[in-house]
Amino acid sequence: MIRTLWQRLWQPSKRFAIGVIFIVGGVGGVIFWGGFNTFMEHTNTLEFCISCHEMRDTVYEEYKTSVHYSNPSGVRAICSDCHVPKAWGPKLVRKIQASNELLHKVLGTIDTPEKFEEHRLELAQRVWAAMEANDSRECRNCHSFDAMHWEKQRRRSSEKMQEAVKKGQTCIECHKGIAHKRPKQERDD
């Protein structure tokens, strides 16, 4: 009897082994998922976004002079508010796209402020096209036509915004250059 008990302890059943695998796999999955999400959120911080000198010395300096950085209401939008979707699926897609941008930094395509400026129009056009395609989804996280007080806006702004609503326009069609300077190549055209 002791021998049988001893053998059972040293030779666990298949159900026990499968249970251990599920528990270890589940705990490992939770740890992996938590780490993955923590890293994804870390890449949404302003500090991460401006950690390379091309961003810190160019678009960040422009952003600091914009209404998205400092305004009467004290609300500040950071890079991820405008460039990263809130929903998890689109966020993951955007992060994959961003890894391509990081690859080009490593490859040397945009590793200096001069090279960044050389490619700036192409990069801006890619952002503008994405914003047009998703109806300026990230803008609408904070801005809503339904919440606007037309009568509190400047007359011309109110007219143009109401016209945009009627035409079904998206934010970026009129508001390129709101947080960053428009690329020099585009301004020269």
- Look at 29 and 7; give whichever has higher pLDDT: 29
For the whole prediction, is pTM greater than 0.85? no
Q: Kindly tell me if the per-residue pLDDT of 175 is higher than 80.
A: yes
Confidence at residue 166, expressed as pLDDT on a 0 to 100 scale: 94
Joined tokens for residue 17: 């082994």
Residue 77 lies in a domain: yes
Tell me the pLDDT tens digit for each residue of 24-80. Answer: 888 999 999 999 999 999 999 999 999 887 788 888 999 999 999 998 888 899 999
Section 171-177 average pLDDT? 90
- CB atoms under 10 Å from CB of 116, counted, come to 21
Residue 165 lies in a domain: no
Residue 29 lies in a domain: no
H or E, element range at 24: helix 14-42
Q: Model confidence at 189, in pLDDT bands (50, 70, 90)?
A: low
Cα 3 to Cα 19: distance, rounded to the nearest angstrom: 25
Q: Kindly tell me if the per-residue pLDDT of 12 is higher than 80.
A: no
Token pair 């009568």 in the structure block, residue: 151
What is the number of domains present in the chain? 1
Tell me if residue 57 falls in helix, strand or coil.
helix
Confidence at residue 105, expressed as pLDDT on a 0 to 100 scale: 80
Confidence at residue 104, expressed as pLDDT on a 0 to 100 scale: 82
Burial readout 70-100 (b: 16 or more C-beta within 10 A, e: otherwise): eeeeeeebbbbbbbbbeeeeebeebeeeeee
* Closest C-alpha to 48, from 58, 56, 57, 37: 56
Cα 114 to Cα 105: distance, rounded to the nearest angstrom: 12
Residue 119 lies in a domain: yes
Residues annotated in a binding site: 49, 52, 55, 79, 82-83, 101, 139, 142-143, 171, 174-175, 180
Residues annotated in a binding site for heme: 49, 52, 55, 79, 83, 101, 139, 142-143, 171, 174-175, 180
Q: Which domain holds residue 108?
A: 52-142
Residues annotated in a binding site for a menaquinol: 82
Residue 107 lies in a domain: yes
**Inter-axis angle of helices 88-107 and 14-42, to 10 degrees?**
70
Residue 112 lies in a domain: yes
Confidence at residue 31, expressed as pLDDT on a 0 to 100 scale: 94
Tell me the pLDDT tens digit for each residue of 103-162. Answer: 888 888 888 888 888 888 998 999 999 999 999 999 988 888 888 898 988 999 899 999
Residue 20 lies in a domain: no
- Look at 61 and 5; give whichever has higher pLDDT: 61
Residue 128 lies in a domain: yes
